[in-house]
Chains A and B, each alone.
Chain A
Amino acid sequence: MSAVFEQIFQVGFLAAIIRIATPLAFATLGEMFSERAGVLNLGIEGIMLLSAMTGFTAASLSGSLWLGVLAAVLTGMLMGALHALFTVVLGLSQHVCGIGVTLFSSGLAYFLYRLIFGQQSVPPNIKGFQTLPIPVLSDIPVLGPAVFNQFALVYMAILAIPLAAFILYRTPWGLSVRMVGENPRAADSAGVSVIATRFQAVVLGGALMGLAGAFLSMAQFNAFTFGVVSGRGWVAIALVVFGRWDPWRSAGAALLFAFVDALQLRMQASGLGHIPYEAFLMLPFIFTIVAMAVMSRNAVAPSALLKPFRREER
């Protein structure tokens, strides 16, 4: 046990947790915005994949990583807008549309990647983001090199958490988002445009999912592979529920998952323990399913989640 304990307080281990948590934090915040407005976005898995692809491609062709990030964010927003068009404007069923968006985006990502880069035995890679130590802060023992000697996108994720909380709880737009997610009828009577607010929230969510994809292909792996997302979108869906649709709790859930994942990777590498690593990967999903059952007594999910809004239907 003490060996495990020592591992945890290594700088490298803490840094790994932060790195694993970053794309999950982006994705989870993105899904949270969408769901708080009443729209489940199961397109997340495909949106992350397509964004990872467009980001990588733009960075690879232009030589500018930030142009890649921009491409990924725009891709996320565009696919978010597509999902919103179907589910918010046309009022189609959210879960089926989400699966459709995931199938479509992943297919498109594979197709375009193969078209642009051809079939290569070694996937092309780029020189991804380098760590950017923050002066002074990075000199703090242990915490400094782990948290403040990271990629720029990591800092963005860390800042995104309080920003998301601020937007959701302290701005008029955030209030509108919560209203249209809880009681669209009342929001409509209060003069809030349900359709517009939901659309905006899903597009903002898509932008964050795009950042998650950008991180994967431009900071974590520095390449686009077909398994670059490998279920992280579904993890985000779980984390939103586990984090009770709250930015702080969702980010905390992402950090907790990253901790378990990093631990699992360490144990695999060191040959420590005989538990199959898949058991750890399963945990967030099992925890979330159990948590949903436990939490069901006090309904915390946005009340209007999955319910399309049509003004004429009363």
Chain B
Amino acid sequence: MFRLEVRTSTPAWFNLALPLLAIGATLILCSGLIALAGAGVLEAYGVMFTASLGDSYAITETMVRAAPMIFTGLAVAVAFRAKFWNIGAEGQLLAGAVASCFVGAIPMPGPLAMVLMALAGAAAGAAVALVPATLRVKFKVDDVVSSLLLNSVIYYALMALIEGPWKDSFSGYPISPPIEDSANFPVLLEGTRLHLGVVVALIAAPLIWFLIVRTTLGFRIRVTGENPEAARYGGIHVERVLISTALLSGALAGLAGVGEVGGVHFQVMSDISPGYGYSGIVVAMLARLNPLGVVPAAIFLAAVMTGAEAMSRATGVPAFLSDVIQGTALLAMLVALLFTAYRIRRVGAAR
């Protein structure tokens, strides 16, 4: 006989084992789709791997794609730690992109422009995230729905800009004017797209980890998320912590947008984010809300996205497989997390 028991604690190796289990299950489940498309499963995954992580150029491309997801992943991880349900990273990213594009278009010395772009983007993202947090703290409005709905508001605001005042009057395309050349983030490796923003993302992860694990604010965020009653009893101003969390989370998501404008597109267009904000949720869950885990989780998703294009060209399997993998990975991870809540124990027969 087997019995389901409630777990009181989880061993540390679970942090690594569960995401790997989820990813393994995902790849097995999605291999059915590859077979359906009439391609060899191992061949398809092989091409995917080589094209995304097989050589140094491929790795730089994957890293460029991982950067925005590191930021949105951190944004979601920080927010979820405090149980501030920020589903709005997508909108916060777009706000950050728009703000940094405004600043980047103003002529000024390059380094100054980059710093101001980052500040403006972070501020814009934080401002957007402040809305659902304030509504929750002041009016007890559900943050899941309000942060989700704000994504659409910000998206249409962006569309109004690029189809209105920002519209390219020469070509008629709905794209913003480009930022100043001097504001383009420096490329770190000649011949690649690896830009400064990628390094900033990689540095941000350990910094956020330090903040969450080692600082007072981080402690307050964690306690607020785990047990708001105890937090309040312990003298923590829970409402203020939620607001701070939202500002931090929104700023991080905003920085994702800054990197895309300053390092990849140099302007704003309607499809500047292929859903990086939602991918951030996948990344954060795979990372078990650990900021250090966000980096490998984001690289995994980025590799799948980068590799899918090459896989499609080589095997004819539609590149949309990467979208399926993303969704499946999130669902598989959620199921895997059940192992942290329950354990299966053999009972009866042994006694």
Contacts and interface: CB of A to CB of B under 8 A. Distances in A.
Interface of A: 40, 42, 46, 86, 90, 92-93, 95-97, 99-108, 110-111, 114-115, 231, 234-235, 237-238, 241, 276, 278-279, 281-282, 285-286, 288-289, 292-293, 296, 301, 305-306
A282 B152 contact: yes
Interface in B313-344: 318, 320-328, 330-331, 334-335, 337-338
Interface in B1-50: 33, 36-37
A114 B159 contact: no
Contacts of B168: none
Contacts of A111: 33, 318, 320-321, 323-324
B239 interface: no
Contacts of A278: 156-157, 159-160, 163
Contacts of A286: 153
Contacts of B135: 289, 292-293
Contacts of A110: 318, 320, 323
B224 to A, nearest CB: 17
Contacts of A293: 135, 138-139, 141
A19 to B, nearest CB: 21
* Residue from B36, B145, B328 whose CB has the most chain A CB atoms within 10 Å: B145
A101 B327 contact: yes
A288 B140 contact: no
A115 B334 CA distance: 28
Interface stretch (B60-68, B115-123, B251-259, B277-285): B277-285
28 contacts: A40-B145, A42-B87, A46-B327, A90-B335, A90-B338, A95-B85, A99-B278, A100-B331, A100-B334, A102-B327, A103-B326, A107-B327, A108-B324, A111-B321, A115-B318, A238-B145, A241-B145, A276-B164, A281-B152, A281-B156, A282-B152, A282-B157, A289-B135, A289-B153, A293-B135, A296-B139, A296-B140, A306-B144
Interface in B60-82: none
Interface in B123-177: 131, 135, 138-142, 144-146, 148-153, 155-157, 159-160, 163-164
A93 B330 CA distance: 12
Contacts of A86: 331, 334-335
A31 to B, nearest CB: 11
A258 to B, nearest CB: 16
A100 B318 contact: no
A285 B87 contact: no
A40 B142 CA distance: 11
Nearest to B321: A111
A236 to B, nearest CB: 11
Contacts of A102: 278, 327
B285 A96 contact: yes
Interface of chain A, helix or strand or loop or mixed? helix
A235 B153 CA distance: 11
B192 to A, nearest CB: 28
B242 to A, nearest CB: 16
B28 to A, nearest CB: 15
Q: Which 6 A-B pairs have the closest CB atoms?
A: A104-B327, A107-B323, A103-B327, A107-B324, A114-B318, A278-B160
A282 B158 CA distance: 11
A107 B330 CA distance: 13
Given A99-B281, A110-B320, A42 B160 contact: no
B324 A276 contact: no
A282 B164 contact: no
Interface residues of B, number: 49
Contacts of B330: 96, 99-100, 103-104
Contacts of B148: 42, 234, 237
B144 A103 contact: no
Given A96-B281, A278-B160, A289 B142 contact: no
A266 to B, nearest CB: 18
A101 B331 contact: yes
A103 to B, nearest CB: 3
Contacts of B33: 111
Contacts of A235: 152
B331 A97 contact: yes
B195 to A, nearest CB: 27
A292 B146 contact: yes
Contacts of A237: 145, 148-149
Nearest to A40: B144
Nearest to B325: A107
Contacts of A46: 327
Contacts of B327: 46, 100-108
Contacts of B140: 296
A302 to B, nearest CB: 11
B26 to A, nearest CB: 10
Contacts of A106: 323, 327
Given A104-B331, A282-B156, A288 B149 contact: yes
Interface in B264-280: 275, 278
B113 to A, nearest CB: 28
B244 to A, nearest CB: 21
B318 to A, nearest CB: 4
A56 to B, nearest CB: 16
A42 B148 CA distance: 9
B152 A97 contact: no
Contacts of B160: 276, 278-279
A235 B149 CA distance: 8
